[in-house]
């Protein structure tokens, strides 16, 4: 049994996330977690809400609520939506947790002891209209590198270049839109990332199996231009983790908080502590996942995230871990994704463009969305959601291929043999050919899943579904029954066993439909088919079943047109 630690990028607390956010981190992470559990491996799948910084403050102000109250409410909302999408987190934590306060201050103290934090007197942008210093991400302007006119003061999301607010052309406040900005002096702490450049470079070079997207972004930040820069880790804000060294006051830093990008990744570790407390576990129970001196040396740690999060997770967070000098588990594989665009444009939380997670669940069950998003995951390039493509994929893959197979075989058996697996003849050459094909495809499917090749996994799973349909078409048991009912019974028996096999194989992608198929087969055995031929004889003659309800309803043209119109505007 392997031990797999999985984290997905933690979403900001300021509102409900869109489908692009979902497919860029949480959903593929869930796919991998579910698959590894199916293989009987021990899995710890962690996520949380990212609750600090100006985004939370502004969203709370807009809602007319204290920021702590707003964050608590939105955490509950995001957790409920995650359940709606069947995201199987072992714990869904909060970066504002006491555990993260303690750990963040602990890491800061260790980095200071190692001489990797320096105090800097710097000039920062102050908005007279807003009466406050503006964090980097709340200053907008034109990127000097690519010309994108909505670049943030910390990074351009279009070209991913790291920026300082003073780099922006025609900067403005993202809070009020005011251009009445001035530069004032303030003191902050900087993490000396540049001192760790060689260590980080060597560590990244050791990850030969990382996606090209991941390593290319990391290397670009390390070597382009002036290379890896020291990074501010504190901010002049009210809401956040107070700047302290291991719980003790930090002279000169009174009233400041840690920068959200310093404390947010540390929440991955703190989240395990939250899990332990919520489940009556001890420190040893969570440390065995995160400390290599406490048992985590045999853990494989995998992260999932969109490409915009890669720099902080390949450089800044690893710099924190390496710089602490402590035996913390570092990521083994970082699976990154490109962007999912929406119907000719971009998904955007700030601009309210696209389908958001709560809206998606209002119109269709989770499996419809899970299948489309995963089978079109933006792995090697950006991909695009269109309603036409969504309708076509749901109707062809889910309704015509999988749903149709399950319906045909169960209804035919009921009409000719009753609601129990028929005995009939032994499997013949056609059955053996199908078993051989499915066996080979299952092994290929497993290889793609292990390699986290999401689209290839979906394609292979669909091919396994198609094999069953082609077998039914070629053998035509409804015709064979007229002359050789024993042979038809054998064909039906294999078909019913395929339903169970499909349920097991499909569980990581479409867990609701998988559960429905197993329930209709009156089967509690969901063990993975290490021996495919044996799995295709698991349901023995006399085993009862029921014909399931329609697994997937087709999307009509009227529905598609209605949804296109309904979601063509912006979200209020």
271 annotated as a binding-site residue: no
156 annotated as a binding-site residue: yes
Distance of CA 32 to the CA centre of its chain: 9
Looking at the structure, tell me whether residues 395 and 473 fall in a common domain: yes
- The three-class DSSP label of residue 346 is strand
Phi, psi dihedrals of residue 176, rounded to the nearest 5°: -115, -15
* pLDDT above 70 (res 176): yes
523 annotated as a binding-site residue: no
Looking at the structure, tell me whether residues 8 and 28 fall in a common domain: yes
Q: How far apart are CA 299 and CA 41, in angstroms?
A: 11
47 annotated as a binding-site residue: no
Looking at the structure, tell me whether residues 245 and 135 fall in a common domain: yes
- The three-class DSSP label of residue 174 is coil
DSSP structure string for 399-448: IIIIIHHHHHHHHHHHHHH-SB----S---HHHHHHHHHHHHHHHHHHHH
Looking at the structure, tell me whether residues 379 and 392 fall in a common domain: no
Q: How far apart are CA 17 and CA 30, in angstroms?
A: 16
* pLDDT above 90 (res 489): yes
Confirm if 406 and 517 have CB atoms less than 8 A apart.
yes
Looking at the structure, tell me whether residues 399 and 514 fall in a common domain: yes
Mean pLDDT for 438-445 is: 98
Mean pLDDT for 180-198 is: 93
Per-residue pLDDT, 62: 86
Q: What is the pLDDT of residues 453-488, one digit of tens each?
A: 999 999 999 999 999 999 999 999 999 999 999 999
Looking at the structure, tell me whether residues 141 and 228 fall in a common domain: yes
CATH number for position 279: 3.40.50.620
Looking at the structure, tell me whether residues 406 and 512 fall in a common domain: yes
Looking at the structure, tell me whether residues 283 and 360 fall in a common domain: yes
Question: What pairs with residue 188 in β-bridges?
Answer: 120
Per-residue pLDDT, 210: 92
Confirm if 284 and 102 have CB atoms less than 8 A apart.
no
Q: What global pTM score does this model have?
A: 0.92
Q: How far apart are CA 7 and CA 92, in angstroms?
A: 10
Q: How confident is the model at residue 351 (pLDDT cuts 50, 70, 90)?
A: low
Q: What is the pLDDT of residues 394-421, one digit of tens each?
A: 999 999 999 999 999 999 999 999 999 9
Give me the domain span that covers residue 455.
386-535
146 annotated as a binding-site residue: yes
Q: How far apart are CA 472 and CA 477, in angstroms?
A: 7
Q: How confident is the model at residue 6 (pLDDT cuts 50, 70, 90)?
A: very high
């Amino acid at each position: 049994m392997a031990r797999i630690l999985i984290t997905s990028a933690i979403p900001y607390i300021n509102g409900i996330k869109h489908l692009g956010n979902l497919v860029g981190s949480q959903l593929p992470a869930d796919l991998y977690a579910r698959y590894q559990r199916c293989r009987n491996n021990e899995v710890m799948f962690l996520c949380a809400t990212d609750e600090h910084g100006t985004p939370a403050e502004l969203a709370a102000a807009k809602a007319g609520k204290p920021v702590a109250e707003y964050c608590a409410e939105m955490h509950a909302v995001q957790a409920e939506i995650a359940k709606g999408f069947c995201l199987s987190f072992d714990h869904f934590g909060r970066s504002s947790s006491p555990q993260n306060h303690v750990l963040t201050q602990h890491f800061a103290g260790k980095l200071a002891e190692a001489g990797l934090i320096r105090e800097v007197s710097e000039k920062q942008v102050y908005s007279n209209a807003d009466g406050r210093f503006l964090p980097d991400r709340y200053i907008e302007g034109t990127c000097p590198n690519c010309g994108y006119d909505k670049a943030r003061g910390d990074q351009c999301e279009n070209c991913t270049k790291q920026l300082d607010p003073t780099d922006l052309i025609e900067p403005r406040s993202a809070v009020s839109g005011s251009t009445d900005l001035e530069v004032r002096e303030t003191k902050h702490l900087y993490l000396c990332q540049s001192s760790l450049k060689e260590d980080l470079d060597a560590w990244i070079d050791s990850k030969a199996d990382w996606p090209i997207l991941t390593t290319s972004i990391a290397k670009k930040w390390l070597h382009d231009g002036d290379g890896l820069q020291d990074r501010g880790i504190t901010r002049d804000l009210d809401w956040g983790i107070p700047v302290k060294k291991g719980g003790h006051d930090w002279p000169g830093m009174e009233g400041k908080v840690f920068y959200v990008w310093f404390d947010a990744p540390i929440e991955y570790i703190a989240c395990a502590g939250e899990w332990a407390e919520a489940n009556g576990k001890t420190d040893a129970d969570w440390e065995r996942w995160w400390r290599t001196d406490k048992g985590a040396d045999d853990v494989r740690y995998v992260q999932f995230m969109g490409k915009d999060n890669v720099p902080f997770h390949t450089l800044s967070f690893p710099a924190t871990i390496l710089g602490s000098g402590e035996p913390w588990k570092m990521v083994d594989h970082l699976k990154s994704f490109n962007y999912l665009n929406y119907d000719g444009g971009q998904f955007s939380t700030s601009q309210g463009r696209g389908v958001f997670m709560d809206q998606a669940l209002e119109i269709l069950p989770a499996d419809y969305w899970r299948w489309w998003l995963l089978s079109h995951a933006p792995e090697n390039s950006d991909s695009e959601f269109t309603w036409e493509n969504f309708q076509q994929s749901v109707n062809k893959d889910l309704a015509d291929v999988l749903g149709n197979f399950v319906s045909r075989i169960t209804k035919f058996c009921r009409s000719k043999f009753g609601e129990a697996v028929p005995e009939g003849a032994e499997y013949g050459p056609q059955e053996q050919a199908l078993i051989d094909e499915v066996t080979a495809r299952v092994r290929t499917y497993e290889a793609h899943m292990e390699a986290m090749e999401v689209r290839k996994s979906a394609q292979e799973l669909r091919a396994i579904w198609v094999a069953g349909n082609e077998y039914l078409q070629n053998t035509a048991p409804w015709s064979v029954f007229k002359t050789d009912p024993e042979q038809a019974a054998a064909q039906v028996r294999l078909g019913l066993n395929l339903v169970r096999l499909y349920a097991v194989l499909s569980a990581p992608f479409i867990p609701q439909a998988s559960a429905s198929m197993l329930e209709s087969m009156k089967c509690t055995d969901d063990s993975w088919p290490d021996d495919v031929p044996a799995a295709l004889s698991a349901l023995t003659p006399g085993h009862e079943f029921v014909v399931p309800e329609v697994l997937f309803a087709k999307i009509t043209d009227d529905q598609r047109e209605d949804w296109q119109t309904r979601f063509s505007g912006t979200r209020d």
